Amino acid sequence: MPPARATERAARRKTVSLAALASMLLLATLATSACFIVRPPPVAQPETPIAGFDAGKYQVQKLIAALAEREKRLDSMQTPAVMEYTAGDQHLKAKEEIVVKRPANLRVEAMAPFGVALLLAAQGSELAIFEPGRNRFMRGQATADTLYRYVRIPMAPADAVGLLMGLAPPEFALNGIADSVSSDGAMIVASYGNNNTASGTRELGFLGGNLAMVRVTAGNAGGRVNYEVRYSDYHDIGGVMFPYVVDATFPAAGSHVTFRYLRPIVNGAIPDSTFVLTPAPGATLMNLSLDDARAFANES
C-alpha cells in the first residue's frame, strides 16, 4: 500500500478538479441562459410620412406660436426715436418721444430744435393734439386720418400700437393655419386668405426666428398692397426680442415712414394719465370733428 500522505494529496487534487469542473459547467449554463434573456436593441425604422404633411407649414406654425407667446409678454413700450417720413417730394426727419400701451394708447412728442413742436395723445378712440408754438389744442376721434396727418401712420390707434411694437395686426388669427408657405430670399412667408380673394391676403414673414414683415393686400383691387411693415435690428430686452427699426410703406397714401428706436424700454409702468392732455391757459381750441369754418373757438 502507498503511504497515507500521498493518498491524501491525491484526494485533495481530485476534489479541486471536480470543483473547477463544476464552476465551468455553471458558467456555461449561465451563458447559455443569457442568450435567451438578452436581446439586441431593435433597429430604428424610418418614420412613415403623414399624408398631406407640409414641413414648411409645420415650421411656420412653430414661429407663429412663438410670436403669439411674445405678444402675451408685451404690454407697453417707450423710447426716444428718429422718425423719417417721405411722400412724393415731401421729406421730414424728426426726433420723437414715443409711448405706447396696449391695446390702443399712444403718445408722441415731436421735437423741434428749441423744444416740443407737437404733442399727440390717443386713448382708445379719443385723441388730443397740442401745438405749443401756436398754443393750439385740438380734440376729436382717433381715426386713421388724424393719426396719418399728425404722426404719419394711416391707422387707427390699436393698429398703430401693434405696428410700433412689432406685433401681428388684430385681424391676423395667430391660431389659424397658413394657406401657403413660400420664401422671399432668406425670409419664410406665411400667407392667409388665399382662398378668399374678396377679403385680400395677409402675410407674415419671419427671419432668424423673428417677425420680419407684415403685409396686407386688398381684395378685388388687383392685388394692391394696403401696407407693408418691415422689422429689423432685433435686441433682447429683458428676455423679449424687440426690433429697433420699423419701416412701413403705405402705397394708398403714397408714403413711407421709418422709426429707429434709440433706447426702448418694454413693459415699464406707464400711468393712464400719460395719454390724457389738457389745454394750456389761453389755448385756441379746435374740434377735429367740425369743418374748418367752425373749428376754432377761444373757450378759455
- Any domain includes 275: yes
| Number of structural domains the chain divides into | 1
pTM (two decimals): 0.76
Q: Residue 168: its pLDDT value, please?
A: 87
- Any domain includes 28: no
- Any domain includes 44: no
Walking along the chain (300 residues) 10 residues at a time, the average pLDDT comes out as 51 50 46 45 45 68 91 96 94 96 96 90 93 93 90 91 91 76 91 69 93 88 84 95 97 94 96 93 86 42
- Any domain includes 284: yes
- Any domain includes 65: no
Domain of 175: which CATH number?
Answer: 2.50.20.10
Domain that holds residue 128: 74-294
Count other C-beta atoms under 10 Å from residue 143's C-beta.
18
Q: Residue 167: its pLDDT value, please?
A: 93
Q: What amino acid occupies position 218?
A: A
- Any domain includes 41: no
- Any domain includes 186: yes
Q: Residue 49: its pLDDT value, please?
A: 41
- Any domain includes 174: yes
